[in-house]
Amino acid sequence: MATVTYQGASRIYPGTEKPAVDKLDLEIQDGEFLVLVGPSGCGKSTSLRMLAGLEDVDEGSILIDDKDVSNLPPKARDIAMVFQNYALYPHMTVYENMAFALKLRKTPKSEIDARVKEAAELLQLEDYLKRKPKALSGGQRQRVAMGRAIVRQPQVFLMDEPLSNLDAKLRVQTRSQIASLQKRLGVTTVYVTHDQVEAMTMGHRVAVMLDGLLQQCDTPRALYETPKNVFVAGFMGSPAMNIKTVPLTAEGAKFGDVTIPLTREQVEAAGVGDAKTVTVGIRPEHCKLGEHGIPIEVELVEELGSDAFVYGHAQLGNENGAERFVVRAGSGLLPQLGETVFVQPEVGKEHVFHAETGDRI
């Protein structure tokens, strides 16, 4: 049980100018499940490896329970990590894999046995204890990797994309297992993924990163409802938010003939620096198809059973010409390809950003 604190922690790879992780400030509560999410190369894995001690902390520091661990070797940090490819020891059985760390610490044999058995039961691995990793399926290997971490009873769990080598169905299943396991064990967990669905469903809080910089760290709901900037808005939610830069008028944002009303404060904030345009984000699920609104030429209808998404192009009257637009359609009558439909954004559900800085207004 521990808290984890990043204090202006940076990682600059030798021979590069730009930090891979740039002055990361992050506080993780005791028992919290924090997800680091972002596109590849955003520095999320590097941040995790810095905490593990597998990467140097070039500036700032990292604290576990108020103790500066920046310069401690990995084994002195009392953390356990689950790797993307599981990194099981191929020459050891499942039992030996899980017992390895305990054996190195000279834990009594009876206790090792009890702890391995307990973890195996938790993960339904009892029948496989004598097998070698190569005789296991992907999902079983993943569970062994989890077991190896659990057996150690560490202060912090680190997980580096542990689900990305599993097939889609197993991923969804394992996702909920990990989340409930974490809840049960109550161990502080830092989880890295590039999948925003994983981030939204698993994390107590989610930290979104881009280009080595922390963009926003908040609960999944807050990220969804009040994204701090255009990047977070576009990254969280599926299908992605429609983010369009359109002309700004005194009344609001002009989507072709339709004007989305903005408050006076919003118009003023958007107009700072003589900006003539404003960036507005509208989630596909916050739109209605109707008789009038933004006209969209339908190009693809994606039917998911419970939902359907209509993909098309809209003329928004800006210099970009026709722009892609996605709308969620109810389960009613769906439009045909090539048809023109009219979209009415739900009032008050739009997200407004400054056209140049991308910050939320």
Partner 1 sequence: MKQRKGLFITSFLVLPVALYAIMVISPFLQAFYYSMTNWTGTNPNYKFVGLDNFKRLFTNELYSVYLIPALKHNAFLLIAMPVIVIALALFFAFMLNVGGRSRGSRIRGVGGSKFYKIVFFFPQVLSVTVVGVLWGAIFRSDEYGFLNSILALVGIPTKPSGWLSDPDIVLLLVMLVMIWSSVGFYLVYFSAAMSSIPTEIYEASMLDGASRVQTFFKVTLPLLFESVQTAWIYLGIIALDAFALVFVMTPEQGGPNHSSEVLGGVMYHYFSSSKAAVACAVGVVLFFFTLTLVMVSLRATRRERVEY
Say whether residue 132 binds partner 1 (CB under 8 A).
yes
CB of 153 to partner 1, least distance (A): 13
Say whether residue 105 binds partner 1 (CB under 8 A).
yes
**Phi, psi dihedral angles at 108 (to 5 degrees):** -60, 145
Positions 264 through 293 that interact with partner 1 (CB under 8 A) = none
Q: Which stretch binds partner 1 (CB under 8 A): 70-78, 230-238, 246-254, 305-313?
A: 70-78
CB of 144 to partner 1, least distance (A): 12
Q: Which stretch binds partner 1 (CB under 8 A): 15-23, 76-84, 121-129, 239-247?
A: 76-84
Residue selected from 55, 65, 113, 285 as contacting partner 1 according to rule CB under 8 A:
55
Residue 224 CA from chain centroid, whole number: 12
Say whether residue 74 binds partner 1 (CB under 8 A).
yes
Reference 124, options 201, 165, 181; nearest CA is: 181
CB of 34 to partner 1, least distance (A): 19
CB of 192 to partner 1, least distance (A): 14
Say whether residue 75 binds partner 1 (CB under 8 A).
yes
d(CA 283, CA 270): 20
Say whether residue 183 binds partner 1 (CB under 8 A).
no
Say whether residue 249 binds partner 1 (CB under 8 A).
no
Token pair belonging to 166: 């599993």
Residue selected from 54, 185, 240, 334 as contacting partner 1 according to rule CB under 8 A:
54
d(CA 337, CA 335): 7
Residue selected from 56, 65, 113, 285 as contacting partner 1 according to rule CB under 8 A:
56
State the number of binding residues for partner 1 (CB under 8 A): 29
CB of 69 to partner 1, least distance (A): 10
Residue selected from 87, 185, 197, 240 as contacting partner 1 according to rule CB under 8 A:
87
Residue 321 CA from chain centroid, whole number: 32
Residue selected from 80, 178, 327, 343 as contacting partner 1 according to rule CB under 8 A:
80
Say whether residue 134 binds partner 1 (CB under 8 A).
yes
Say whether residue 12 binds partner 1 (CB under 8 A).
no
Find the angle CA(302)-CA(209)-CA(147) to the nearest 5 degrees.
Answer: 85
Buried b (16+ CB within 10 A) or exposed e, 65-95: eeeebbeeeeeebbbbbbbbebebeeeebbb
Entry field: residues in the chain: 361
Say whether residue 67 binds partner 1 (CB under 8 A).
no
Say whether residue 81 binds partner 1 (CB under 8 A).
yes
Q: Which stretch binds partner 1 (CB under 8 A): 96-104, 163-171, 221-229, 262-270?
A: 96-104
**Are the C-beta atoms of residues 325 and 296 closer than 8 Å to each other?**
yes
d(CA 71, CA 57): 8
Say whether residue 136 binds partner 1 (CB under 8 A).
no
CB of 54 to partner 1, least distance (A): 5
Positions 143 through 172 that interact with partner 1 (CB under 8 A) = 148, 152
Cα atoms in the 13 Å half-sphere on the side-chain side of 214: 18
Radius of gyration of the chain (CA): 24
Residue selected from 16, 17, 73, 168 as contacting partner 1 according to rule CB under 8 A:
73
CB of 56 to partner 1, least distance (A): 5
Say whether residue 116 binds partner 1 (CB under 8 A).
no
The footprint of partner 1 (CB under 8 A) covers: 52-56, 71-75, 79-81, 83-85, 87-91, 100-101, 104-105, 132, 134, 148, 152
